[in-house]
Structure 1
Amino acid sequence: MIYLDYQATTPLAPEVREEMLRWLDGPGGRGYGNPHSIHRLGRQADAAVEVARDRIAALFPPGGRVIFTSGATEAINLAMRGCEPGREGAGVAISAIEHSAVFETAQALPGDCTVLPVGPAGIVDPQVPLPDGLGLLAVMQVNNEIGTIQPVAELYARARQAGALFLCDAVQAAGKLPVAEADMIAISAHKFHGPKGIGALWLRDGVDIRPQATGGGQEHGLRSGTLSPALCAGMGVAAQIALQRMEQDAAHVAALWDRARELFADWQLNGNAQQRYRGNLNLRRDGLDVARLMSDARQLCFSAGSACASQSNRPSRILGAIGLVAEQARASIRLGFGRYTTAAELEAAADLLNSAASQQG
C-alpha cells in the first residue's frame, strides 16, 4: 500500500506514539491521572499538558494563548460563534475556498455573510473589496484541496484597518510553514504527524470569546471537558518535531514535487504552481473516470478531493470556485505527500496511475 493522502491525515510520527504511550499506562503506571485533579497523578498529568501547550505555542506568533480542542472544526466553531461579531450579527466575510468548517459556520451566523472570490489560480486578491460593517474576516493559509497559499498577511492588515477580527484556518500550514499572523488561528494535530482527536485554537492576547459549551470550565473557561494527557502530549511532540524538521521536510517535499511534475507531465495542474504548498498535487485529466481509476489503483491511497466531503458525490466547491466546470472537477485527483513518502513510492504510484488512466482512452 502506498499512501498519498497527506491532506486528509498524516502518518503518526513514531516519536509521538512513544510519548503517548507514556500517558496511557494503567494501574501501576502514571499516565491515567486526570489533569484537572489536585493529587499527585493529577499534577503529573497536568504538567504533561502544560509542557505540550508550550510546545504547541511555539508554532504560533508570539503574544497569544493556546486552547486545546478536539480538532480544528471545534476550534473554528468556538472562534466564529464565540467572538463578538459571531454573537452580535456583524458582517462576516470568507473566501470562496474555505474548508466547510468555516464556510458552513459562516452561513449559520446571524449577520450577513460575504463570500470573497478567488481567481483561476485559487488565490484571493489581497485588494479584494471588503463589505462595509465587517466584523470578522476568515481566510485560510493553505487550501486543503489545491494547496494554494493565501495572502494572509495582507488580508489580516486590511481586517485590522476595518476594525474586524481575523480568523485563519492554518490546518494545512501548521508544522510545514511558519503560521501567519491573525487574531484567531485553528490547527489540528493529525495534519502534522500527531494524533487524531485533538487540535487547538490560538487566541491573540486581548481577544475575548465566549464558551460554546458549559460544564467544568476547563481551558480557561472556554472549552469544558477533561483533557487527554496522551493526546495533548502527542500533539506537543508532533509540534516540537515539526519545528525542528521544518526546513528538512520542506526540502524533501520540494524534491518530491519536482519529480511528481515530471511523472505527471501529461496531467493539468489545478491551482497556482508557485504560490502553493508543494506537498499538495491536485491534477486533472479530461474525461477521466476517477471512480474507475481508484478501483484500478486500489493499492494506492489518494483522494478525489476533501476527505470531509468524500461521501457527498457532488463536484468540488473549491474546484468550482477556480472556474472548473463539473466535468473537469470530477476528473480531478489530489495526491498528498510528505515526510515519510519516498521517491520510489511516488514513482511506483505514477506508473500505476498513468497506466490506469491511459487504459480509459
Structure 2
Amino acid sequence: MKRIYFDHSATTPVDEEVAKLMLEYMTEKFGNPSSIHSFGREVHKAVDEARNHVAALIGANANEIFFTSGGTEADNLALKGVALANRKKGNHIITTAIEHHAILHTCEYLEKQGFSITYLPVDEHARVKIEDVRNAVTDQTILISVMFANNEVGTIQPITEISEIAKEKGIYFHTDAVQAVGNYPIDVKELNLDLLTLSGHKFHGPKGVGALYVRRGVRIESVQQGGGQERSIRPGTENVPGIIGLGKAAEIAKRDMEKKIAHITALRDKLTTGIRERISDIKLNGHPTIRMPGNVNFSFSYVEGESLLLNLDLKGIAASSGSACTSGSLDPSHVLLAMGLTHEVAHGSLRISLGRGNTAEDIDYCLTVLPEIIERLRSMSPLSSTSTMAENNPCSSCHKH
C-alpha cells in the first residue's frame, strides 16, 4: 500500500546528512565540550560551528543563540526568564488565545506567581489585530509574546507591526517561531525581535533539541541552576549530537530555503484547489494567502476529524485533525474555536502539512481517496443530506463506482 506522510507540522524526518553527522558525534567524537583536553576541545569547536549555522539561519549573532531541549523549554525560558528578570519594572504580559500550549501553560503558571496576562483574540483567519495589541499595552507591560505562524492553520502573524509597537513602548517582544524557522525566511534583526524560539525536528533536524535567540542586552534570568554551560542561561551538559544535528539542519535549510518554499507552495495550491473542486460544504481554515507554504487546513461539515484520520490512515495517508480526542480530550482545537468556528465544524477539521519529500503524485492520490472518504462518512452522519438520501434510498450510496 502506498504510504504518504502529510504531517510535517508535527515532525519531519531527519535528513540523511544530519543523521550521519550526529552518529559521528555519538561514537567517534564523544568528548564533553567543557573538558579542556583534545577530545573536549574538538567537540567544543563543533558546537560553536553549529551555533554559527543556527544564528545564520535567522540572521542573529552566534552569541545570541542558547541551545535548549526543544521549543517547549525555549518558550518557558523566554517567558519565565524575562518575567523574573524584569518583575521590578512590571508584571504584565501580552499573548494571544491561539498560542501553542508551551506558551499558554507557561502563562497560566506565571499568573499563579502574580503576573497579569492578556490573551488577545484573533479574527476569523486566526490573525491578531494590531489595534488590539496596542490597546492592551499598559505601563506594567514587560513582554509581548505572539507566535510567528500558527501550528494548526498556518496563519502568519503581523510580526513587523507588533515589533514596532513593542520597540516604541520599550517592551520586549518574543515570538514562538517553531513552525516557521527552517521553513520560511526569518531575519531577527530586520524584524526587531528580542527573543525567538525554534526547534530542530520541524526542519529535518533531531527531536529533543532547540534554541532560544536572545538579543544582546535583553534582561533574562536562568530558570534552572547548574554549571556554566550556555553562559549559565541554560546550564547542563550539552546534548552534543543533537546540537550538531540542529546546526547541520540549519545549514541545509538556509541553503535550500528558496527551492523548498517554491516546491511545497505549488503542492499546497494544487491540493487546495483540488479539494475545493471535488468536495462541497467545506471551509478553508486560516488566512487564504498569509500562511505557511505547506499548510492546508479544511473543515468538512458532517464529518468527525478522528474518523477522517483513521480512514486516511487505512489508505496510507498520515495527517492530523483539529480535535484533541486522540489525546483523551473531547474538546476541539482551541485555535479553531478562537477563530469563531462552532464545535461541530471544528471537530471536522483536517490539517495536511506538506514537506520537501512530497510529490505531485502524492497530491493526486490524496485527491482520489479523500472525496470518497468524505462521501462515505457523510452518508453515515445523521446531520448530512447524503445520509438522509441514503436512508430513503438504500442503494443511493452505490451510484458511483
For residue 39 of structure 1, the aligned residue among 14, 37, 43 is 37
Q: Is the 8 A contact 1:134 1:162 kept in 2?
A: no
How far residue 47 of structure 1 moved from its aligned partner, in angstroms, is: 1.0
Q: Is the 8 A contact 1:8 1:307 kept in 2?
A: no
How far residue 295 of structure 1 moved from its aligned partner, in angstroms, is: 2.1
One-letter amino acid of the structure 2 residue matched with residue 50 of structure 1: D
For residue 152 of structure 1, the aligned residue among 146, 155, 159 is 159
Name which one, 1 or 2, has greater alpha-carbon Rg: 2
> Which deviates more from structure 2 when the two are superposed, residues 263-272 or residues 90-99?
263-272
Q: Give yes or no for the alignment of 1:250 onto 2:258.
A: no
Matches within 5 A, 1:127-276: 127-128=131-132, 129-132=135-138, 133-179=140-186, 180=188, 181=191, 182-265=193-276, 266=279, 267-276=282-291
- Which residue does the alignment assign to 2:383? none
How far residue 163 of structure 1 moved from its aligned partner, in angstroms, is: 1.9
The unaligned stretches of length 5 or more in structure 2 are 380-401
> Which deviates more from structure 2 when the two are superposed, residues 157-166 or residues 190-199?
157-166
Partners of 1:275 and 1:47 in 2: how far apart?
A: 40
For residue 125 of structure 1, the aligned residue among 126, 129, 149 is 129
Q: Give yes or no for the alignment of 1:15 onto 2:17.
A: yes
- Which residue does the alignment assign to 2:331? 314
One-letter amino acid of the structure 2 residue matched with residue 292 of structure 1: S
- Which residue does the alignment assign to 1:76? 75
Partners of 1:185 and 1:294 in 2: how far apart?
A: 32
Partners of 1:309 and 1:145 in 2: how far apart?
A: 16
Partners of 2:98 and 2:347 in 1: how far apart?
A: 17
Measured against aligned partners, the alpha-carbon deviations of 1:193-216 in whole angstroms (never above 9, x if no partner) come to: 100000000000101311111111
Partners of 1:200 and 1:150 in 2: how far apart?
A: 21
> Which deviates more from structure 2 when the two are superposed, residues 341-350 or residues 227-236?
341-350
- Which residue does the alignment assign to 2:359? 342
How far residue 307 of structure 1 moved from its aligned partner, in angstroms, is: 8.3
- What is the TM-score with the length of structure 2 in the denominator? 0.85
- Which residue does the alignment assign to 1:3? 5
Partners of 1:166 and 1:258 in 2: how far apart?
A: 32
Partners of 2:91 and 2:263 in 1: how far apart?
A: 44
Partners of 2:300 and 2:148 in 1: how far apart?
A: 27
Q: Is the 8 A contact 2:323 2:349 kept in 1?
A: no
* Pairs aligned (count): 357
TM-aligned CA distance change 1:48 to 1:305, over 3 Å: farther
Matches within 5 A, 1:50-61: 50-61=48-59
Q: Is the 8 A contact 2:97 2:122 kept in 1?
A: yes
One-letter amino acid of the structure 2 residue matched with residue 173 of structure 1: A
Q: Give yes or no for the alignment of 1:96 onto 2:97.
A: yes
One-letter amino acid of the structure 1 residue matched with residue 108 of structure 2: Q
Partners of 1:135 and 1:325 in 2: how far apart?
A: 34
- Which residue does the alignment assign to 2:396? none
How far residue 106 of structure 1 moved from its aligned partner, in angstroms, is: 1.4
Percent sequence identity over matched residues? 39
One-letter amino acid of the structure 1 residue matched with residue 92 of structure 2: G
The unaligned stretches of length 5 or more in structure 1 are none
How far residue 85 of structure 1 moved from its aligned partner, in angstroms, is: 6.0
Partners of 1:279 and 1:350 in 2: how far apart?
A: 16
